[in-house]
Structure 1
Amino acid sequence: MTLARTDAVTTSPSSTPTLRLLTPHDDLERLTALVHSAYAPHAAKGLRYWATHQTVEDTAKRLASGLALVMEIDGDYAATATLRSPQPESKVALYRDSTVWSITQFCVAPPFKGLGLGKLLHGELVQRARSAGAATLALDTAQPAHALIAMYESWGYRVVGECDWRPLTNYTSVLMSRSVDSAAA
């Protein structure tokens, strides 16, 4: 699958995914709906990710917390993720490390799951973190989300600790990290 990368809104629809930076013209209500729908299967299992119930204002803040990427197919939002630089104020020591960049709000809309878009988006995040001088890429996810943990492990991550975001969530999270120089996408 070919990935078109741009820094502006794609004006002509195509079946090729277009990956670009978030713009002020993006529809935050639609992006919030994408996030809610992508995390709905986790909510059905009783996991209360922040993404399952965040407001449009929360979406705006989370996307503004770093470099927000949006993937579109035929004018539909297909995926999104935010790459964050080191966070000196984070309660999580790993995220405060000056060599660690992190991923948040990573999701693929249900109609587009299984097409490899998540892996394409992740590859772009790794490349951008590497270009920014990061040594490590990190993320967190629900400890009971075994399928997500396995997917991240297949991309070169390993569990390196735990964190707790309650009351925004209802579970303990695992912290995962990988080298940006790792061969795994």
Structure 2
Amino acid sequence: MVLHSGAHVHHVGPSAVKLRRFAEGDSAEDLTRLLHRAYADHAAAGRVFFASYQSVRDTTARLARGECWVAFHDGELVGSVTVAAPYAMPERYPAPVGAGSFWQLAVDPTYQGTGLGQRLLTLAEERIVALGSAEAVIDTSARAVDLVGWYCRRGYVPVGTWRWDVTNYESVVLLKDLAVTRHEL
């Protein structure tokens, strides 16, 4: 893994970043700052993801809705994802009942492009299956073309659109059949 921070390039082995559950004593403030950093480029491009501006109180409320997993490197929080299965979807949300979901998938900008996002995505999908769901549903800005492409290359398929009242864009809803993925391995 190669990390770019300013003019310096750091080589980090995959095992150097540790993943674990968010635990008592972990900081919702630190997690909120990570989310703001991870989603800052989207906000700068005019896609105001909730994670780009949510308060510490919002972060705490979102943590309570699922299992939050965090990634640390040398004691520094560098990534996160929160998972729930089944996920309680709003009425008319275009996804199958019983599907799991994840949110707050975030990677510190200095760790983006290192494979950490893929590790967190894989962890989220494994947890969704372990919690009893065979499908994962997520949504993201339809205007975040690179991000939508990233998910599609990982087996997610657009199944509809949704509009949240905390964002300034229409979301594309993406679904992945995790049972098929598991059997193909």
TM-score interval for Structure 1 and Structure 2 normalised by the shorter chain: 0.7 to 0.9
1-side partners of 2:121 and 2:77: how far apart? 16
Task: Tell me: CA distance 1:94–1:171, structure 2 relative to 1, closer, same or farther (3 Å).
Answer: same
Deviations 1:136-177 (A, max 9, x none): 0111000100000000011110111011002x1111100001
Aligned positions, number: 171
Matched-pair contact (CA < 8 Å) for 1:162–1:173? yes
For the residue of structure 2 that corresponds to 1:106, the secondary structure is strand
2:72 is aligned to: 72
2:175 is aligned to: 177
Task: Tell me: CA distance 1:125–1:62, structure 2 relative to 1, closer, same or farther (3 Å).
Answer: same
Matched-pair contact (CA < 8 Å) for 2:94–2:161? no
Q: Which 4+ runs in 1 deviate beyond 4 A?
A: none
Matched-pair contact (CA < 8 Å) for 1:19–1:72? yes
Query: Considering only aligned residues, what root-mean-square deviation do their CA atoms show, in Å?
Result: 2.1
1-side partners of 2:155 and 2:15: how far apart? 29
Gaps of 5+ in 1: 2-13
- Give TM-score, length-normalised by structure 2: 0.86
1:82 is aligned to: 82
Task: Tell me: CA distance 1:20–1:89, structure 2 relative to 1, closer, same or farther (3 Å).
Answer: same
Gaps of 5+ in 2: 2-13
Q: Percent identity?
A: 34
Matched-pair contact (CA < 8 Å) for 1:39–1:51? yes
For the residue of structure 2 that corresponds to 1:160, the secondary structure is strand
1:11 is aligned to: none
By how many angstroms is 1:125 displaced? Answer: 1.1
Output the amino acid matched with 2:101: S
2:129 is aligned to: 130
Deviations 1:92-148 (A, max 9, x none): 5346712x0001111101111111001011111111111222110111000100000
1:112 is aligned to: 111
